[in-house]
Structure 1
Amino acid sequence: MAHWLIKSEPDKWSWDMQVKAGAKGTHWDGVRNHAAKLNMMKMKKGDQLFFYHSNEGKEIVGITEVIKEAYPDPAANPGEPWVLVDVKAVKPLPKPVTLADVKATPDLSNMALVTLSRLSVQPVTEKEWKIVLKMGGL
């Protein structure tokens, strides 16, 4: 199983909205960056993802899971290669992990959240996953 991080502006799609989507989850849309798209295309059903509030909050607030692998984005213009994945909320982090916390942790200095800060869909290594879980109280 691989791990990922997805970013959302909480005023557009928040953790609470993701939770309210329930077990049926929701499609993860709006991705218009080729590196992020390629990451989504690598996701497999059952992979877990950190849910990150960007811009406002700047913190990892929960864990989601891929429930449907990449498929064509129906909102894309004809011929554009954009995809969606479907995700559902798994659980919140008891203590949100802020971007400042991540940056202050030497073992996370190479995390994509730090080195590729603008990328909206990012890989997370097994080591990073475990560190962030511990920081978040899990």
Structure 2
Amino acid sequence: MANWLFKTEPDTFSIDDLRARSGQTEPWEGVRNYQARNFLRDEVQVGDKVFIYHSSCKQVGIAGIAEVVREGYPDPVQFDSNSPYYDPKASEASPRWYRVDVKFVEKFAEVLPLKTIKAMPDIVEVGLVKKGHRLSVMPVNDNEWQRLVQAAKRTTE
């Protein structure tokens, strides 16, 4: 199993939105970056853990954890001309965009802020701390995953 970080804008979809669907699954749709798409299509697997990261908001950082419950499959909104994620170059025979389904696992009592993450000396590989890295889906190695979970739980004690 692998670990991931998925970015979302909480005004659009937040950890609270995912928690409200507790017991259900939710598609992680609308990813429109080829490298992030490749992760969703080729590498993200059922059982993988995911940090839900709130971006473009007042409190930027890791808000909680989800689990992948369905591996990558074509994102149907790419075929819907009424969707903001419509792609006229995509076809059902040759889809361009993929999504996975996730379920809620845990919301942290407080968001682990990006500023705190960047100040952690042992967090060096995750894309969040690398200059110019703006992917909405990124891998997180096991050691950094454990350190980030510990830090998130410490901020609430």
Distance in 1, Cα, partners of 2:133 & 2:150: 22
- Which SS does the other structure have where 1:51 is aligned? strand
Give, in whole Å, the separation in 2 of the partners of 1:125 and 1:135.
15
Per-residue CA deviation, residues 14-66 of structure 1 (Å, 9 max, x unaligned), is 11101111222210001010110111121111100000000112110100000
Quick one: percent identity of the two aligned structures? Answer: 38
Amino acid at match of 2:48: D
Between the two proteins, the alignment pairs up a number of residues equal to: 138
C-alpha distance after superposition, 1:55-107 (max 9, x if no partner)? 11211010000011100111223244200100011011234211001110111
Partner residue of 2:105 out of 84, 90, 111: 90
Task: Tell whether the 8 Å contact from 1:70 to 1:84 is kept in structure 2 after alignment.
Answer: yes
* Counterpart check, 1:107 vs 2:116: no
Matched, 1:128 2:144: yes
Written as runs of structure 1 = structure 2, the 5 A alignment for 1:35-46 is 35-41=35-41, 42-46=43-47
Q: Aligned AA for 2:109?
A: P
Q: TM-score, normalized by length of structure 2?
A: 0.83
Larger Rg: 2
**2:23 corresponding residue in structure 1:** 23
| Cα distance in 1 between the residues matched to 2:126 and 2:75 | 28
Stretches of structure 2 that go unaligned for 5 or more consecutive residues are 79-89
Equivalent in the alignment of 2:50:
49
Which residue in the other structure is 1:8 paired with?
A: 8
What do you get for the CA RMSD once the two structures are aligned?
Answer: 1.4
Question: Is the 1:46–1:65 contact (alpha carbons within 8 Å) kept by the matching residues of 2?
Answer: yes
Residue in 1 that maps onto 2:63 = 61
Is there any run of 5+ residues in structure 1 with no aligned partner, and where? none
Which structure: greater strand fraction? 1
* Letter in structure 1 aligned against 2:8: S
